[in-house]
Amino acid sequence: GAGVSQSPRYKVAKRGQDVALRCDPISGHVSLFWYQQALGQGPEFLTYFQNEAQLDKSGLPSDRFFAERPEGSVSTLKIQRTQQEDSAVYLCASSFGQAYGYTFGSGTRLTVV
Amino acid sequence: DQQVKQNSPSLSVQEGRISILNCDYTNSMFDYFLWYKKYPAEGPTFLISISSIKDKNEDGRFTVFLNKSAKHLSLHIVPSQPGDSAVYFCAAEETSGSRLTFGEGTQLTVNP
């Protein structure tokens, strides 16, 4: 596709439920990032992939958060045993590489009730 | 600690006038800076960037100024248009880094 596609657009989860958020990057983009944006804040880095290799996961807030990109294309961000503080917009971005700029998807708004 | 700060949560400007959005940073390792624009329910869209070897970059109505000694950058939009109304995020990147560090954003409203 022409842009970065994220699904679902909206997700409501009961506290304790596991969720999986999907990101389809722009075809050929090597780098893929996940960011978390809380209400009224700027996006905060979660994790970074170069092809299938997860090179940086230092932004993941707890071991309940897990991301994968097994074939170097589609990525999934999984959150286990969701908590209310996980409520946020989760943004995915992809790029050909560091010097080429980043294209963001529209995000998945997760609400934990 | 907030390494990139946008101290004005909102700015209101009259159509046709200049909009100036400000951003300060603390990390001296940042050497590439970007501005993103965000409409509701959409992801951030890249607007303009500047490398630390420059002090100004211009693209149409948008100009970014960088003052490295003050660790300050600003985005000038002139003339401002109602369609420019959005949240503007300043972001910074280290040469060796693989992530963007964002400010909190400034909501710009351009009144007709």
B94 interfaces chain A, CB cutoff of 8 Å: no
Contact B98 A55 (CB under 8 A): yes
Q: What is the pLDDT of residues B31-62, one digit of tens each?
A: 999 999 999 989 999 999 999 999 999 999 99
pLDDT of residue A62: 95
Token pair in block for residue B37: 């624009």
Residue B75 has pLDDT above 60, yes or no: yes
pLDDT of residue B96: 58
Contact A91 B98 (CB under 8 A): no
Q: How many CA atoms lie within 13 A of A113 on its CB side?
A: 5
Q: Residue B59 burial by CB count (10 A; 0-12/13-18/19+): exposed, middle or buried?
A: exposed
| Burial call B66-88: b when 16+ CB within 10 Å, e when fewer | beeeebebbbbbeebeeebbbbb
Residue B26 burial (CB count, 10 A): 12
Q: What is the pLDDT of residues A61-111, one digit of tens each?
A: 999 999 999 999 999 999 999 999 999 999 999 988 766 678 999 999 999
Average pLDDT over residues A6-31: 96
- Map tokens 């080429």 to a residue: A100
- Map tokens 């075809």 to a residue: A27
Residue B17 has pLDDT above 70, yes or no: yes
Contact B43 A4 (CB under 8 A): yes
d(CA B92, nearest CA chain A) in Å: 12
pLDDT of residue A43: 96
Q: Are strands A103-104 and B10-14 parallel, antiparallel or unpaired?
A: unpaired
Q: With contacts defined as CB-CB under 8 Å, which chain B residues touch A91?
A: 43-44
Q: With contacts defined as CB-CB under 8 Å, which chain B residues touch A103?
A: 46
Q: With contacts defined as CB-CB under 8 Å, which chain A residues touch B91?
A: 42
Residue A90 main-chain phi, psi, to 5 deg = -105, 120
Nearest CA in chain B to A95: B98
B99 interfaces chain A, CB cutoff of 8 Å: yes
d(CA B36, nearest CA chain A) in Å: 10
Rounded Cα gap, residues A55 and A41, in angstroms: 25
Contact A104, B43 (CB under 8 A): yes
pLDDT of residue A99: 61
B57 interfaces chain A, CB cutoff of 8 Å: no
Hey, what amino acid is at A86? D
Rounded Cα gap, residues A95 and A74, in angstroms: 13
Nearest CA in chain B to A109: B41
Residue A96 burial (CB count, 10 A): 14
